[in-house]
Amino acid sequence: MKRTNKFLCLVLMAVLLTSMLTPCYTNSEELRSKTTLLIGQTYQDEFEGYVSGIGTAPAGTSHYGEIYTGTINQGDDGKYFDDSAPYLHWVSQNYPNATALIAISIKDNPIAGGYGHLNPHDPNGYDPSCVYKATKDIAYTNKWDANIKKFAQKFKHYPNITFLVRIGYEVNLLMMANASGQEFTTILDKYNAMGINIYDDISLVDPADIDIKAYHDAYNKIARMIRDEEGASNVKFVYHPVRGFGEVKALYPGNQYVDYIGFSAFNHDLSIGTDEANDFVRTIGYDGSRIDSNLQQSLDWSSSRKPILIAEAAYQKAPTEWAAAAGASHSNAFLEYIDRLIEVIEAYNIQYLTYINSNWVGHHWPAHWGDSRVEAFSDVKAYWMNKVVHNPNFIHYSGSSSTEKPEAVSGLRATPADSQVTLNWNASAGAATYDIEYDSVRLSTTLTSKLISNLTNDRTYVFKVIPINTNGSGPSATITAKPQSIQSGGLIGSYANGETKQVQVILTASGMYRLDVTGEVGVVSQLISSKLGSVDGGMAAIDYGRVSSIYFHNVQPGALTLSIQSHSDSTVLQEVRLWDPNNQEILY
């Protein structure tokens, strides 16, 4: 959490507070890999204080920049008011081969980009859609392209640093997607009056009110420019939403440029109260929960898609009475926080932990933020040494680049189509590139997906994905797939009243699928219905020149039948397209 104004912090906290439940972890210990420790944020003296007090350097640091200047400019990186980033430069000189977590902020300081601000108590320049407008400009204009290129050049300037780049951070619907120009609560009230919870199904919301596509496209454009067009090969990209489950799903920009999914883990995220006047936040965790229910759902959903990192974590000051009242294992809530943080790391195979080791109050934050420095308190230091520093499952700075080969990729998926197969997988810890082998062909990519073309239909292929770094090749992951020809005509064309057409589709992801249908010339309000496997999507009215959508909820992967039935005379379909939960088109 970048050091921003108190008002925005309070707004976010008010929006994000939810009920808590006891976690039910499922990840098995045998799948556990090591967690790389980073220490944040933005202040060199606090990083050096950690190293001096603990006696071991972490594997990296965290830094913040903003799209409106194209610079890494927060804390010590901004002390010269230019693009020199002196703290990052110091890291590269003193800790070569370290990892730096970078936030390219969109939500902070939009007034610097000419978009106004989000503080309703200051009417001069207040615009509840200001961050959305900036996001839309990033996605669909070249207004900020030069600044995106500046970030890419900065990353390339330090080839001895691995950059984990958050495109936006703690992204949420309130800021990134409020297209309405109205207070976000007004939009919530509007849909609540219609019986719609926008967090349950964002597809029911008019994009003129809440537009999630702009963030999807802005994220992917920034990533594409930095890595593909500008050639910054030492960059991995992080999607870092707030913990709200509906927002995590809605704003997910698709698999192509998401290498990691990141979350924050402060007190409330781990069901620990904070020392504030509000009784609700003081008593969080009194029900015996150990993790926020939304965070748990989000972690469960994300862990099946991409590796997870904790992008921001810090203990905040808990009420004096909290530990006893909540039945905590420790009388010191700081130790309880460390226990719960480790539980999440172990349960969800967290790849990176960024702990913000900071005296927050010393930087003029409210009193309940307290002092999260682990070396500042003897009992906390001893506990941290035992749980983290001496824990073989944590990676600290080694003084040189790692000598370990990368781990095998996980989540390998194959989507066959006509004469081609698309492979997708989760990023491998330590991998720089990936080789794909089939028959006698060997291909290479820096991405976590690969389209393989010019294949023979109805033939089964065996594909291997092999992670590579400077130390060699990691274990391969294997999958089979059979490309198939597209059925001639498919679902488009003329339907008699009651006629049904169907095709077979291969689905690799679970969740909500969307069918977009457009009518031919002359079609007005013709009714169709559709099923995907056993899931009934209901009916839709089809018109010429307008896309009508049918949604299929809780679809499971597999080979399924997609069917459309006409309920009108003279129904003619011009275009039919199926999209998976990651906004990837399913070919048939």
Work out the pLDDT band at 12, boundaries 50, 70, 90.
Answer: very low
Q: Which residue has the higher pLDDT, 21 or 535?
A: 535
DSSP state of 110: G
Q: Which residue has the tokens 């929960």?
A: 289
Round to whole Å and give the CA distance between 532 and 320: 55
Round to whole Å and give the CA distance between 379 and 331: 11
What pLDDT is stored for residue 484 in this prediction?
76
DSSP state of 32: -
pLDDT at 566 over 70: yes
What pLDDT is stored for residue 311 in this prediction?
97
pLDDT at 22 over 50: no
Our CA angle for 354, 360, 364, nearest 5°, is 140
Across the chain, what does the average pLDDT equal?
A: 88
pLDDT at 139 over 90: yes
Work out the pLDDT band at 399, boundaries 50, 70, 90.
Answer: low
What pLDDT is stored for residue 3 in this prediction?
44
What pLDDT is stored for residue 71 in this prediction?
95
What pLDDT is stored for residue 24 in this prediction?
40
Round to whole Å and give the CA distance between 332 and 41: 24
What pLDDT is stored for residue 253 in this prediction?
95
Q: What is the pLDDT of residues 265-318, one digit of tens each?
A: 999 999 999 999 999 999 999 999 999 999 999 999 999 899 999 999 999 999
Q: What is the pLDDT of residues 430-450, one digit of tens each?
A: 677 789 999 989 998 877 788
DSSP state of 455: P
Buried b (16+ CB within 10 A) or exposed e, 17-55: eeebbebeeeeeeeeebbbbbbbbbbbbebbebbbeebe
> pLDDT above 70 covers what percent of the chain?
92
DSSP state of 385: I
- Among 23-27, 131-135, 316-320, which stretch is predicted with the lowest mean pLDDT? 23-27
CATH topology for 35-395 is TIM Barrel (3.20.20)
Q: What is the pLDDT of residues 159-187, one digit of tens each?
A: 889 999 999 999 999 999 999 999 999 99
pLDDT at 32 over 60: no
Task: Identify the architecture of domain 493-586 in CATH.
Answer: Sandwich (2.60)
Round to whole Å and give the CA distance between 184 and 314: 28
Cβ neighbour number for residue 460 with a 10 Å cutoff: 10
Round to whole Å and give the CA distance between 322 and 319: 5
Cβ neighbour number for residue 345 with a 10 Å cutoff: 25
Work out the pLDDT band at 1, boundaries 50, 70, 90.
Answer: low
Domain boundaries, given as residue ranges, for the chain: 35-395, 410-481, 493-586
**Tokens, residue 499:** 């006629």
CATH topology for 410-481 is Immunoglobulin-like (2.60.40)
